[in-house]
Amino acid sequence: MIELKGATKMYELGGEKIYALDHVDLKVDKGDFIAIVGPSGSGKSTLANIIGGLDVPDEGEVLVDDVNIAKVNDATISNYRNKKIGFIFQSFNLQPTYTALENVMIPLIFSGISLSQRKKRAFECLKAVGLEDRVSHMPNQLSGGQRQRVCIARALANNPEVIIADEPTGNLDSKKGIEIVELLKELNQKSGITLVVITHDPGVARQAKRVVEIKDGRIR
């Protein structure tokens, strides 16, 4: 489904080359549940951003259905992010002046469907994460766990093939964190959505089908 071949990302710091990713090879199969683990600064987020099309490698290939998205134009990569990938962030990244329903509708703006259809789809996604009774609530009226569920609903809005979650339990207490991981597992098992989860939590990593450990930009 997605394959990285020799993916390398470099930065210049004080005249020295720093490798955020150092010739990484990785396959992500359809229906996989991968946990990416490693110390701070190891390259976890860079790896996830390249898989998700938020960043491109300086060297190497990122093959999606045999197309190297590291070499395509901006319109194609934007379409890839919008149609194939759903993102969940540790800090939620919700619009504070939008309701839960309106936040979930955001990825649907460029989908070409009517406003009524966007509302219907957003409601379906909120219902899927158990928040059908919170559609009109603002983010500051929701608990941390509920806000993360809104993020998951937003990630589901465009029926993505892959969800990339960056520390999805990082701002939650242990009980709420377990609930979010169980919800992601259910999506993976019942809907076949591919999950790529960045985590520092061994408990979250143990739930994955496969653990990828990265250190100093290299997969160990």
The answer to whether residue 65 sits within a structural domain is no
Helix and strand numbers, DSSP H then E, in the chain: 7, 10
CATH of the domain at 107: 3.40.50.300
**Total tally of structural domains belonging to the chain:** 1
Return the HEC string of 148-186. HHHHHHHHHCCCCCEEEEECCCCCCCHHHHHHHHHHHHH
Average pLDDT over residues 37-44: 90
Residue 99 — pLDDT band, cuts 50, 70, 90? very high
pLDDT of 90 > 90? The answer is no
- The answer to whether residue 3 sits within a structural domain is no
The whole-number pLDDT of residue 111 equals 81
Cα(143)–Cα(125) distance, integer angstroms: 18
| Distance between CA atoms of residues 114 and 145, nearest Å | 30
Range of 180's domain?
30-54+77-219
Q: Within a domain: residue 152?
A: yes
Query: Predicted confidence band at 103 (pLDDT cuts at 50, 70, 90)?
Result: very high
In a domain, 17, yes or no: no
Residue 136 domain-assigned? yes
Q: Summarize the confidence of residues 24-53 as an average pLDDT.
A: 92
Count other C-beta atoms under 10 Å from residue 190's C-beta: 8
The predicted pLDDT at position 164 comes to: 94
In a domain, 67, yes or no: no
Residue 1 confidence (pLDDT): 83
pLDDT reported for residue 170: 84
Number of other CB atoms surrounding residue 2 within 10 Å: 24
Contacts of 110 (CB under 8 A, 6+ apart): 82
pLDDT at 138: 97
Residue keyed to tokens 């150092």: 22
Confidence of residue 63 (pLDDT cuts 50, 70, 90): very high
Tell me the pLDDT band of 197, cut-offs 50, 70 and 90.
very high
What's the mean pLDDT in 167-175? 87
**Residue recorded with tokens 């899927």:** 128
Report yes or no on 50 lying in a domain.
Answer: yes
Average pLDDT in the 125-137 region? 95
Tell me, what DSSP letter sits at residue 33?
E
* Residues paired with residue 16 on neighbouring β-strands, in sequence order: 13
Angle, helix 144-156 to helix 115-128, in steps of 10 degrees: 130
In a domain, 141, yes or no: yes
Distances (CA, A) of 34 to 31, 138, 145, 170: 10, 32, 22, 17
Contacts 24+ apart (CB under 8 A), 15-19: 19/43, 19/216, 19/217
What is the share, in percent, of the chain residues with pLDDT greater than 70? 100
Q: Identify the band that residue 153 occupies on the pLDDT scale cut at 50, 70 and 90.
A: very high
Asked whether the predicted pLDDT for residue 17 surpasses 90, the reply is: no
Share of the chain above pLDDT 90, in %: 68
Number of CB atoms found within 10 A of residue 70's CB: 21
Cβ neighbours of 67 (radius 10 Å): 13
